[in-house]
Chain A
Amino acid sequence: MSTLTINAIRKSYGAVETLKGIDIALESGEFLVLLGASGCGKSTLLNIIAGLAEPTSGDIRIGERSIVGVHPKDRDIAMVFQSYALYPNLTVHRNIGFGLEMRKVDKAERDRAVHETAKLLQIENLLDRKPGQLSGGQRQRVAIGRALVRNPKIFLFDEPLSNLDAKLRMEMRTELKRLHQMTRTTVVYVTHDQIEAMTLATRIAVMRNGRIEQLDTPEKIYNRPATLYVATFVGAPPMNLLAATAGEGGLQIDGSDIVVSVPGLESAAPGRRLVLGIRPEAIGKADGVLSLSARCEVAELTGPELVVTAMVGNQRIVAALPASTKLQAGDAIVLSADPAAFHVFDAQTEQRLN
């Protein structure tokens, strides 16, 4: 039995359909990340799960029970907001305990739970302060504490880290991962940060225009993206996309005489327009199966690697090479890649072919 079942959820605002049929089944203890560009409907979906918005059609179940139309407080969920949404006039202690207080949990029990949660999040020394006297990271912890203390079936997070600076964001990311491994609760987490998605999720749902493009494990999303959109959304620097055509001996890269045979693509009708995707980090220097002669245009040292932009035929390609590589603009190089790491998409339908 799934903990959370989302069934054919649709949501319209007036004539605009924001969610166009969402299906998700979540097992207990899963960490689902909703990943997608701004405006694709992530928050809308999360608010529908929370009960802060009602779906136009479709069903949501927590366990066996349908929760459509059920008041947010009776759904056994807790939510962490992007803005933290702490009550500014209440102390940290009361902020965390507010949900229990409203549920008439007696004071001694409440205090115990608040202290336990505060200890877990290392904010015991902040309990008497007001939110205005806290730093961004501390507020974030309080917001998480407020959700944690209630011990709900499902946690909902709406971009909880996006207001933090880069360093703090990484720390909190690790912290969240640690918390999840410890508590093993079910989480639905919204973000548009692909690193967050890759590191935290047990499964990722990549959303686009109110639909789920792919719902899979981070490894699958990265290694076998189902559509061109998913392929370009995940990975930095983004995947190289080369225009190509299906031919007799395999796939021919447009604007060059390079022909590659890609496993699983034998059935593609000759002449079919294709897109060949190669991740920058899957490209090496002259030790793979396929060799591409290229001319280096720009070489940027990022620290751990050298990001090289080069021309293959008349198409641009980006490769992430070891930092020790000696290269300058204008140099001729031979790049290599393994066809096993190739991603081939239909140029028309944008669906994966291999």
Chain B
Amino acid sequence: MSGTWMTTRAWLLMLPLLIIMLAVIGWPMIDTVRLSFTDAKLVGAAGNFVGFDNYLKMLGSSNFQRALWATTWFAVVSVTAEMVIGVLAALLLNQQFYGRTVLRALLILPWALPTVVNATLWRLIYNPEYGALNAVLTQIGLLDSYRSWLGEPGTAMTALIIADCWKNFPLVALITLAALQAVPRDITSASLVDGAGSFARFRFVILPYLAGPLMVALVLRTIEAFKVFDIIWVMTRGGPANSTRTLSILVYQEAFSFQRAGSGASLALVVTLIVTVLAIGYGMLVRRAAGSAA
């Protein structure tokens, strides 16, 4: 069979899918680009062409800069913590001990919960009047009086990050646990005979086997963290005093709360661009990690 026919047939077979994808992703995307150059409202007239006005205004606004900073902070801190805690949890769960199977099964629970449920759960924990955190901290004497963890700009972001970590570290742990199974027994045995302590064994013997999978986890989690919306929306709605207003929250507010479809669209496109750049950069990193591990 000729190569061109194979290629033609491949395209033919993919055509229905391509059409659907263009319809549900491509068209809205193109329409968003169009919107971003207008001053359209969410409802009503189509709006006038305003060129790059939306972009220029937005990039110069302090709202955007603060949101970008909040997003970056949220992503960097929560993803770092998730990676560290996830790997440590996996190393622990990889040891032989009684009850390991049960713990491994329990590990997946936070991650399996819908984000909304998780967020509601943490709101209860942080509740200023009857929350468990206040109760525990006062009972062990670390706190004099109850605080509103989600109501104070100084603590809201940290509280959010903790909730996000709790939900997402199991993903990192599971990926690591799977990768640990791939470390050949002979190699860990050899390192024991060679006299490597636990740190050296992790650094030189085990980590190389984890590098590729961890890189994938890092990419997934960073991109997700940059797009974060639901957990924040349920817990703080971007408050207090906009201290937890990330880019996605800002897009939502701009487009739907303030009904400015045009500038909302331009903001959404900027977020998309940032995430795409991140994804491509990471993709290259992953390929490098995979190449050096082989």
- Closest CB in chain A relative to B105 CB, distance in Å: 23
Given contacts A87-B204, A89-B208, A102-B200, contact A73 B192 (CB under 8 A): yes
- Provide the residues of chain A in CB contact with B200, threshold 8 Å: 102
How many Å lie between the Cα of A89 and that of B155 in the bound state?
43
B259-294 contacts to A, CB under 8 A, are: 292-294
- Provide the residues of chain B in CB contact with A78, threshold 8 Å: 193
Contact of B193 among A73, A83, A90 (CB under 8 A): A73
A141-194 contacts to B, CB under 8 A, are: 146
How many Å lie between the Cα of A79 and that of B208 in the bound state?
22
Given contacts A83-B184, A89-B292, contact A102 B190 (CB under 8 A): no
Given contacts A72-B192, A79-B189, A89-B293, contact A102 B184 (CB under 8 A): no
How many Å lie between the Cα of A103 and that of B195 in the bound state?
7
Question: Quick check: is A3 within 8 A (CB to CB) of the other chain?
Answer: no
Given contacts A85-B184, A87-B205, A89-B208, contact A50 B293 (CB under 8 A): no
Q: Are A102 and B189 in contact (CB under 8 A)?
A: no
Q: Are B186 and A73 in contact (CB under 8 A)?
A: no
Interface string of B191-217 (1 = CB under 8 A from A): 111111100100011001000000000
Specify the chain A residue showing the minimal Cβ separation from B196: A102
- Provide the residues of chain B in CB contact with A84, threshold 8 Å: 186
How many Å lie between the Cα of A72 and that of B193 in the bound state?
5
- Closest CB in chain B relative to A161 CB, distance in Å: 15
How many Å lie between the Cα of A51 and that of B189 in the bound state?
10
How many Å lie between the Cα of A84 and that of B189 in the bound state?
11
Specify the chain B residue showing the minimal Cβ separation from A79: B193
Specify the chain A residue showing the minimal Cβ separation from B192: A72
Question: Quick check: is A249 within 8 A (CB to CB) of the other chain?
Answer: no
Contact of B194 among A83, A88, A102 (CB under 8 A): A102
- Provide the residues of chain A in CB contact with B189, threshold 8 Å: 47, 50, 52, 72, 79, 81, 85
- Closest CB in chain B relative to A77 CB, distance in Å: 7
B70-98 contacts to A, CB under 8 A, are: none
- Provide the residues of chain A in CB contact with B194, threshold 8 Å: 73, 98-99, 102, 146
Question: Quick check: is A82 within 8 A (CB to CB) of the other chain?
Answer: yes
A96-138 contacts to B, CB under 8 A, are: 98-99, 102-103, 132
How many Å lie between the Cα of A89 and that of B212 in the bound state?
13
Given contacts A72-B192, A73-B192, A90-B204, contact A85 B186 (CB under 8 A): yes
In this complex, how many residues of chain B approach chain A with their Cβ under 8 Å: the count is 19
Specify the chain B residue showing the minimal Cβ separation from A84: B186
How many Å lie between the Cα of A47 and that of B185 in the bound state?
12
A37-75 contacts to B, CB under 8 A, are: 47, 50-52, 71-73
How many Å lie between the Cα of A89 and that of B197 in the bound state?
18
How many Å lie between the Cα of A169 and that of B150 in the bound state?
69
Interface string of B35-57 (1 = CB under 8 A from A): 00000000000000000000000
- Provide the residues of chain A in CB contact with B197, threshold 8 Å: 102
How many Å lie between the Cα of A72 and that of B294 in the bound state?
29
Specify the chain A residue showing the minimal Cβ separation from B187: A85
Specify the chain A residue showing the minimal Cβ separation from B186: A85
Given contacts A72-B193, A73-B192, A79-B193, contact A88 B208 (CB under 8 A): yes
Q: Are B204 and A81 in contact (CB under 8 A)?
A: no
- Provide the residues of chain B in CB contact with A102, threshold 8 Å: 194-197, 200
- Closest CB in chain A relative to B165 CB, distance in Å: 29
Given contacts A50-B193, A102-B196, contact A81 B186 (CB under 8 A): yes
How many Å lie between the Cα of A50 and that of B208 in the bound state?
25
Most buried by A among B189, B194, B204, B294: B194
- Provide the residues of chain B in CB contact with A83, threshold 8 Å: 184, 186
- Provide the residues of chain B in CB contact with A146, threshold 8 Å: 190, 194
- Provide the residues of chain A in CB contact with B208, threshold 8 Å: 87-89
How many Å lie between the Cα of A50 and that of B294 in the bound state?
29
Specify the chain A residue showing the minimal Cβ separation from B205: A87
How many Å lie between the Cα of A85 and that of B244 in the bound state?
50
Q: Are B195 and A99 in contact (CB under 8 A)?
A: yes
Specify the chain B residue showing the minimal Cβ separation from A80: B190
- Provide the residues of chain B in CB contact with A79, threshold 8 Å: 189-190, 193
- Closest CB in chain A relative to B227 CB, distance in Å: 33
Most buried by B among A71, A73, A90: A73
- Provide the residues of chain A in CB contact with B184, threshold 8 Å: 83, 85
User: B interface vs A, CB < 8 Å?
Assistant: 184, 186-187, 189-197, 200, 204-205, 208, 292-294
CB-CB nearest 4 A-B residue pairs: A73-B195, A85-B186, A89-B208, A99-B194
Can you identify 24 A-B contacts, CB atoms within 8 angstroms?
A: A50-B189, A51-B193, A72-B192, A72-B193, A73-B192, A73-B193, A73-B194, A77-B193, A78-B193, A79-B190, A83-B184, A85-B186, A86-B187, A87-B187, A87-B191, A87-B205, A88-B208, A89-B204, A89-B293, A98-B191, A98-B194, A102-B197, A103-B195, A146-B194
User: A interface vs B, CB < 8 Å?
Assistant: 47, 50-52, 71-73, 77-79, 81-90, 98-99, 102-103, 132, 146
